[in-house]
Chains A and B, each alone.
Chain A
Amino acid sequence: MERETLLDLRGLTKAYPGVIANSEVSFTIGKGEVHALLGENGAGKSTLVKTIYGLVKPDSGTMTLNGAPYAPAEPRAARAAGVAMVFQHFSLFDALNVAENIALGMENPPPLRDLAQRIREVSETYGLPLDPARIVGDLSAGERQRVEIIRCLLQDPKLLIMDEPTSVLTPQEVQILFETLRKLSSEGTSILYISHKLEEIRALCEHATILRLGKNVGTCDPRATSARDMAEMMVGTVLHTPSRDTAAPGDVVLSLQNLTAPAPHEFGTALKGITVEVRKGEVLGIGGVAGNGQDELVAALSGEMKTGDGMVTLKGQSVGRLGPNDRRALGLLAAPEERMGHAAAPDMSLTENALLTGVVRKHLSKNGFLQWGKARTFAEEIIKAFDVRTPGPGNAARSLSGGNLQKFVIGREILQDPDVLIVNQPTWGVDASAAAAIRQALLDLAAKGAAVICISQDLDELMEISDRFAALNEGRLSPPRPAKGLTVNDIGLMLGGAHDMEVAHVEA
């Protein structure tokens, strides 16, 4: 079926110093169409949608909306023209309530009381339950996304842009979202759907535009194209799937006994009775929607958060009261999710960042005096072994791309020969080839006899590398199950199902 054109993009180009984010990108979106924009991290998807939403001005190229020239100077103009956007990050205000958050995204919001009523109406119509008076900081990731979606829907958008909407949802919640999007599409709203998850796009979209290195490298009908073909268009090369030799798991090296800890800050999650054992040579995958205790679990294991005696036992020794460096000395290492500012200090050089966690196990200091020569050698070693693209170890961490810095961070821990390594979101925001390299490195580490705990929201990744799988939900960890043979539905239920059904399930 040929649709009437809603938005027509012609030759959009945007360059940043050293990077061409978009180069001569052209495509059209039809009325009521669900159009996928597909590409790796860094392919230029974000820049393109920011251009459409008025946050970025293109260097050249034109846009036409409903036959009229369209060049929004700011998001306000885009919203006025009927373009709405659901962001992946950074657009909600934790300390404000749902209605206030929604009012901020509207041009002429009605008084808050009327607005609350309209929020209830829209949320019922589209099956997205939401209480307008709740403080956004207390909501789950899925509920926060609903806030954003309802904020858009209240303005009757002609085009709804969704940037990686499912990364924060359980499989069941994804189904609910897709129902909503299909309903919208049937009512004539166009949807520009950005993702790198191919199966989702095949399930939802009728048209796909694929970006690679800022260029439009092809279009396809996702329903009629295999995921593998689309992946190759996206990446440009044949993907390497990590491989491993499965070894029989060895002795227990790390055991968590009823690990319980209060939430470290106002909008944090408390850990509730986590019990699990991890053995030498195994990879334990921990799935879960963001904000269900992942950061807190990493902190409790790395030593940033101290816990009660006997809750964390490493090789028979209780380490719950030890700090990060004492745990490192014993062989328990970690790589937190946030690279910039947590795993690495952005303004410090790679040498300094190598020293940051390596000082104990690599003996980079003597009587408190640092041995910069040895630290530099260690940094060079990481750069070489993990193919980190940088002019040298003297460069600041913030000058590296996400993928390269992540390789550096993971490499820094792996090269210290840990007995147990905890990684959180090891491939988030990393391009496909770096992601494959990181996964391979984790498997190699396990093959050498270390225990690896991999926390991730990418279920495909977890299924690929884990021996056992457990789910983290509201600070509780499900009993681990062998990863082989788990279906998407099993995992979905382990993750807590759809957020609203869960109440019925758990309390019943």
Chain B
Amino acid sequence: MDINPVFLLAAVIVASTPILLAAIGELVVERSGVLNLGVEGMMITGAVCGYIAGHQSGSALVGFAGAAAGGAAVAALFGLLTLGLLTNQVATGLALTLFGVGLAAMAGQGYVAPNPVSVPKLPIPGLSDIPALGHIFFNHDGMVYLSIALVVAVWWFLERSRGGLILRAIGENHEAAHALGYNVRRVRFAAILFGGACAGLGGAYISLVRVPQWIDNITAGAGWIALAIVVFAGWKPWRLVAGAYLFGGVTALQLNIQASGLAIPVEYLSMSPYIATIIVLAALSGGRAPGSLGKIFHASR
């Protein structure tokens, strides 16, 4: 069987979208100086919330809204602990992942979906008729377009707006930002909520579009790959797109090769996204981490 490049590239974009959504949220969180390692936990929480909300209501829109809310809710827990109770961000992020995976497994266990949910494709009139390119880029569902729009919006916010400048300043040097009178904790909390909502959307995209059914451990490390992509992108939104599509590409390609029955053992194919992540992290990472990333902020005298 042959692999059709047009369908493959379109599949790459679909495979990349959840990672891109989660990564753009985490990028904002990290630019504010917070390292939230709980992306996987937030994503899987979003996946289960989106799945249940979507299938209860029969509406994809309600599903994604529920996913964003679910992701933001567990992110809020992370925010309260790290910002309010000054807990170690690495340990708290891990706890969030363990907790989220457990929560999702419990909520999803035995859930029987009453209504079907479909996420319609929204071909962009005119553009989607372009041969090949039209199918690859302009014949997707709304979430794909939203993920790209979010990247543009985040870029604009960080580089062009006053709020973005403040957020970057807080991530760079929280002591100095505090001395200038900026509310470090409020800005960071908002960033964490945004990150949680994005991760939730990414998770729901897996459970409502990519798979689309409920299985245990449905995110299978996508949250961690999102974290890796943020590092790979050097905390810059544009490079994030390249990173996400690269990993989406590896994932889609290996699935296609599996389906095409080429004589490569399945197991080596299914570990390829993880190995690709490691190689790219080691070889291509660039950019400077925000100065206060991962440090605990406590306003003293």
Query: Does chain A bind chain B?
Result: yes
> Contact residues of A with B, CB < 8 Å?
16, 21, 47, 50, 54-56, 74-76, 78-79, 87, 90-96, 100, 103-105, 109, 266
Which residues of the other chain, A, contact B291 by a CB distance below 8 angstroms? 93-95
Which residues of the other chain, A, contact B173 by a CB distance below 8 angstroms? 90, 92-94
In angstroms, Cα B162 to Cα A103, docked, is 9
Which residues of the other chain, B, contact A100 by a CB distance below 8 angstroms? 165, 169
Please, which residue of chain B has its CB at the minimum distance from the CB of A78?
A: B181
In angstroms, Cα B177 to Cα A105, docked, is 9
Which residues of the other chain, A, contact B177 by a CB distance below 8 angstroms? 93, 104
Instruction: Evaluate contact between A74 and B169: CB separation under 8 angstroms.
Output: no
Across the interface, B180 reaches (CB within 8 A) one of A91, A94, A96, namely A91
Which residues of the other chain, A, contact B301 by a CB distance below 8 angstroms? 16, 21, 47, 50, 56
Most chain A C-beta atoms within 10 Å of own C-beta, residue among B162, B169, B181, B182: B181
Instruction: Evaluate contact between A104 and B179: CB separation under 8 angstroms.
Output: no
In angstroms, Cα B173 to Cα A94, docked, is 8
Which residues of the other chain, B, contact A105 by a CB distance below 8 angstroms? 180
Which residues of the other chain, B, contact A94 by a CB distance below 8 angstroms? 172-173, 291
Across the A-B interface, give the 6 residue pairs with the lowest CB-CB distance, nearest first.
A75-B181, A93-B172, A90-B175, A91-B176, A76-B181, A74-B181
Which residues of the other chain, B, contact A93 by a CB distance below 8 angstroms? 168-169, 172-173, 176-177, 291
Q: Among residues 152 to 198 in chain B, which have CB atoms less than 8 Å away from a CB atom of chain A?
A: 162, 165-166, 168-169, 172-173, 175-177, 179-182
Apart from A75-B179, A92-B173, list 6 A-B contacts with CB within 8 A: A87-B179, A95-B168, A96-B168, A104-B166, A104-B177, A104-B180
Please, which residue of chain B has its CB at the minimum distance from the CB of A72?
A: B181
List 25 contacting pairs A-B, 8 Å CB cutoff, sorted by A: A16-B301, A21-B301, A47-B301, A56-B301, A74-B181, A75-B179, A75-B180, A79-B181, A87-B179, A90-B173, A90-B175, A90-B176, A90-B179, A92-B173, A92-B176, A93-B173, A93-B176, A94-B291, A95-B172, A95-B291, A96-B165, A100-B165, A100-B169, A103-B165, A104-B182
Most chain B C-beta atoms within 10 Å of own C-beta, residue among A47, A100, A266: A100
- CB B93 to nearest CB in A, in angstroms, measures 23
- CB B158 to nearest CB in A, in angstroms, measures 12
In angstroms, Cα B165 to Cα A79, docked, is 19
Which residues of the other chain, B, contact A104 by a CB distance below 8 angstroms? 165-166, 169, 177, 180, 182
In angstroms, Cα B301 to Cα A47, docked, is 8
In angstroms, Cα B169 to Cα A78, docked, is 20
Which residues of the other chain, B, contact A47 by a CB distance below 8 angstroms? 301
- CB B118 to nearest CB in A, in angstroms, measures 46
In angstroms, Cα B181 to Cα A78, docked, is 10
Please, which residue of chain B has its CB at the minimum distance from the CB of A55?
A: B179
Most chain A C-beta atoms within 10 Å of own C-beta, residue among B173, B177, B180, B290: B180
Most chain A C-beta atoms within 10 Å of own C-beta, residue among B165, B179, B182: B179
In angstroms, Cα B169 to Cα A50, docked, is 21
Which residues of the other chain, B, contact A87 by a CB distance below 8 angstroms? 179
In angstroms, Cα B182 to Cα A55, docked, is 11
Which residues of the other chain, B, contact A103 by a CB distance below 8 angstroms? 162, 165
Please, which residue of chain A has its CB at the minimum distance from the CB of B173?
A: A93
Please, which residue of chain A has its CB at the minimum distance from the CB of B179?
A: A91
Instruction: Evaluate contact between A54 and B181: CB separation under 8 angstroms.
Output: yes
- CB A138 to nearest CB in B, in angstroms, measures 13
Most chain A C-beta atoms within 10 Å of own C-beta, residue among B172, B175, B177: B172
Please, which residue of chain B has its CB at the minimum distance from the CB of A54?
A: B181
In angstroms, Cα B215 to Cα A95, docked, is 44
Q: Among residues 278 to 294 in chain B, which have CB atoms less than 8 Å away from a CB atom of chain A?
A: 288, 290-291
Q: Among residues 252 to 301 in chain B, which have CB atoms less than 8 Å away from a CB atom of chain A?
A: 288, 290-291, 301
Which residues of the other chain, B, contact A56 by a CB distance below 8 angstroms? 301
In angstroms, Cα B179 to Cα A75, docked, is 8
Which residues of the other chain, A, contact B182 by a CB distance below 8 angstroms? 104
Which residues of the other chain, B, contact A266 by a CB distance below 8 angstroms? 288
Please, which residue of chain B has its CB at the minimum distance from the CB of A107?
A: B181
Most chain B C-beta atoms within 10 Å of own C-beta, residue among A56, A79, A93: A93
- CB B97 to nearest CB in A, in angstroms, measures 28
Which residues of the other chain, A, contact B172 by a CB distance below 8 angstroms? 93-96
Instruction: Evaluate contact between B169 and A96: CB separation under 8 angstroms.
Output: yes
Which residues of the other chain, B, contact A95 by a CB distance below 8 angstroms? 168, 172, 288, 290-291
Please, which residue of chain A has its CB at the minimum distance from the CB of B172?
A: A93
Which residues of the other chain, A, contact B165 by a CB distance below 8 angstroms? 96, 100, 103-104
Which residues of the other chain, A, contact B290 by a CB distance below 8 angstroms? 95
Instruction: Evaluate contact between A109 and B162: CB separation under 8 angstroms.
Output: yes
Which residues of the other chain, A, contact B288 by a CB distance below 8 angstroms? 95, 266
- CB A127 to nearest CB in B, in angstroms, measures 25
Which residues of the other chain, B, contact A79 by a CB distance below 8 angstroms? 181
In angstroms, Cα B181 to Cα A79, docked, is 10
Please, which residue of chain B has its CB at the minimum distance from the CB of A100?
A: B165
In angstroms, Cα B162 to Cα A54, docked, is 22
- CB B136 to nearest CB in A, in angstroms, measures 37
In angstroms, Cα B162 to Cα A76, docked, is 15
In angstroms, Cα B181 to Cα A105, docked, is 9
Which residues of the other chain, B, contact A54 by a CB distance below 8 angstroms? 181
Which residues of the other chain, B, contact A74 by a CB distance below 8 angstroms? 181
In angstroms, Cα B182 to Cα A91, docked, is 12
- CB B292 to nearest CB in A, in angstroms, measures 10
Which residues of the other chain, A, contact B168 by a CB distance below 8 angstroms? 93, 95-96
- CB B144 to nearest CB in A, in angstroms, measures 33
- CB B241 to nearest CB in A, in angstroms, measures 22
Which residues of the other chain, A, contact B180 by a CB distance below 8 angstroms? 75, 91, 104-105
In angstroms, Cα B219 to Cα A508, docked, is 65
In angstroms, Cα B176 to Cα A100, docked, is 14
Q: Among residues 105 to 129 in chain B, which have CB atoms less than 8 Å away from a CB atom of chain A?
A: none
Which residues of the other chain, A, contact B179 by a CB distance below 8 angstroms? 55, 75, 87, 90-91
- CB B191 to nearest CB in A, in angstroms, measures 17
Please, which residue of chain A has its CB at the minimum distance from the CB of B300?
A: A16
Which residues of the other chain, B, contact A90 by a CB distance below 8 angstroms? 173, 175-176, 179
- CB B10 to nearest CB in A, in angstroms, measures 38
In angstroms, Cα B176 to Cα A87, docked, is 10
In angstroms, Cα B148 to Cα A62, docked, is 54
Please, which residue of chain A has its CB at the minimum distance from the CB of B299?
A: A55
In angstroms, Cα B175 to Cα A96, docked, is 15
In angstroms, Cα B172 to Cα A21, docked, is 30
Which residues of the other chain, B, contact A78 by a CB distance below 8 angstroms? 181
Which residues of the other chain, B, contact A91 by a CB distance below 8 angstroms? 176, 179-180
In angstroms, Cα B161 to Cα A104, docked, is 12
- CB B162 to nearest CB in A, in angstroms, measures 7
In angstroms, Cα B170 to Cα A93, docked, is 9
Which residues of the other chain, B, contact A50 by a CB distance below 8 angstroms? 301
In angstroms, Cα B176 to Cα A103, docked, is 14
In angstroms, Cα B268 to Cα A252, docked, is 65
In angstroms, Cα B156 to Cα A375, docked, is 57
- CB A48 to nearest CB in B, in angstroms, measures 12
Please, which residue of chain B has its CB at the minimum distance from the CB of A76?
A: B181
In angstroms, Cα B177 to Cα A56, docked, is 15
In angstroms, Cα B172 to Cα A91, docked, is 11
- CB B297 to nearest CB in A, in angstroms, measures 13
